[in-house]
Structure formats: structure tokens, C-alpha cells
Amino acid sequence: MNDLLTPGPTRVVGVLNVTPDSFSDGGRHTGDPVARGVALHAAGAALVDVGGESTRPGAARVDAAEELRRVLPVVEGLVAAGVPVSVDTMRAATARAAVAAGAVVVNDVSGGLADEDMAATVAGLDCVYVLSHWRGFSDVMNSLATYGHVVSEVRAELSARLDAVTSAGVARDRVVLDPGLGFAKAAEHDWKLLGDLDLLDRFGLPLLIGASRKRFLGALLAGPDGVVPPPEARDTATAVVTALAAERGAWGVRVHDVASSVTAVRVVDAWRGGRTPVTSLGMESEAS
């Protein structure tokens, strides 16, 4: 687990939805999710994020037993195959069971707000905790997308949640922050947050960016007729966001198409490696 948070290239986190109603794949990988997760890891995913409850706008919640039934066998299968696993859940009981089965990250899109036991539970687990900005469940989140200044408000609300979970015992150095793109946010809010990542970076904590295939990319790519491309047609745009996030130093990106984002990160790293250090430029200038 400790290696996950060491400095290095931006991590690509592969999305593995084991739900019948995901916005991005519509349950396409429920047949053999372990094989899909293994393939994501082979394509370069540093983590595979397993989720058993859809968080698409308007989605109804599944009960706790059903979520666990979907998630736990997949976590166990991936861990047995040597794949590092993250569990995407808002429930403390699911987080506890998944970490006991070998998951090394709890990715809680609610930032501990959906389950009052989450922070105390994570505090007692040996795992990384991804804390996201969130204002409400999927059935109401669109009505909560009201901001005066989205970046400062998201930063303040993340700060409050960070204080709450660390007060409950979660070690600050095990927290990764996620601005929650698309969660109680309209497209203009998502773009503002991406444009001002430096404000979120002032926490001094790793950042995870989850832009993959989301509505704001679909709206951007809509044709002259207003037709929005389907989620899988947004992978090139997602990879561009990955490259820009990697250039800004993001710890990770959560994506559906792993291969294109792995390529994007490699390009950014090569670009950085080709830069002449400022000190070298200065020396050359003085010698000329």
C-alpha cells in the first residue's frame, strides 16, 4: 500500500463496474468481471476500481447486501490474480469486507457523508482513502449544482470533510482528494475545477481526477445538430484530460479506457524528460 502514494508518474486507475446500470458500459462487464479487471491491469492500470453501485445521475441505490454480493467475489478474484484493487463504495461495511479481502484503496465518492461510520471504519483499516467532493445522492445531485464560486466552495467543502475524517482517526498521509467532477456539478463547474487544480493542490495531498466519459465531455463533443456522442466515443477527450492532469502533477486518473490514458501519461513523462533544466539554461547563457 505504501508504494501507492510515493512520488512517481500519474497512476491510471481502471474502472470496473459490476452493475447493470452504469452510464458508461451498461453492465457490459458483469459476465466475467475478473477477466476484465485482469485485462485492465495488463493494459497498465496501477489499480482496478471495483464498484457495485451506480452513481450516474438519477440512479437509485442498491441495498447493502446486493452491493456486497456484486463486489466481494470480484475483489477476491482480482487479488488472487495479483491485481491491486480499489473498492468504489459509500458503505463502511462494504469497505471493511473489501479491504479484508485484499483491496488496498477505499474510493468513497461521498467523502464520508453517505455513511457516518465510514471515517471511523477506514481509520482502522490498512488502506488509502479517496475522499471526494459530494453534496448528495444520485437522485438529487443535479439540483445541488449551485455555486457562487465553484472552486473556492469545493475547496472549502473538501477541507471540512478532510478535517472530519482526520478527526475520526484517518491518517492525513493516507488520503487522496478527488474534486468529484460531475457530482452535483454542471459542465461549466467541471471545467472551472480542472482549470484551477492548483487551488486544490494547496492541500498538499495527492489528487485523483475522474473525468472519464462524463457528461461535460459529451457536451463539449456534441455535433452541430446537438447530438451528444455516446460515452465510449469520449475516450480521446478523456485521454487529453489525462495528459493535462498528469502535466499538472495529479496523482491519478480514473478511466474506463486504460490504454489511451497510459499512453497519455507516457507522453507527458517523455515531454518532461526532454526539458532542459532552468539551471542548465542559466549556465549556458553565462557561458555564451
Q: What does the alpha-carbon distance between residue 152 and residue 90 come to, in Å, rounded to a whole number? A: 25
214 is catalytic: yes
User: CA-CA distances (angstroms) from residue 61 to 93, 132, 243?
Assistant: 15, 18, 33
- b/e per residue 131-166 (b: at least 16 CB within 10 A): bbbbbbbbeebbeebebeebbeebbebbeebbeebb
Q: Is 155 a catalytic residue?
A: no
Nearest to 212 by CA among 228, 193, 234, 229: 234
Q: What is the full DSSP assignment across 195-262?
A: HTHHHHHTT-S-BEE--TT-HHHHHHT--TT-PPPPGGGGHHHHHHHHHHHHHTT-SEEEES-HHHHH
Annotated catalytic residue: which of 135, 161, 192, 254? Answer: 254
Catalytic residue among 70, 135, 192, 214: 214
- Which alpha helices (H) appear in 51-149, and where do they start and end? 64-80, 92-100, 118-123
* Total residues found in the chain within this entry: 288
Catalytic positions are 214, 254
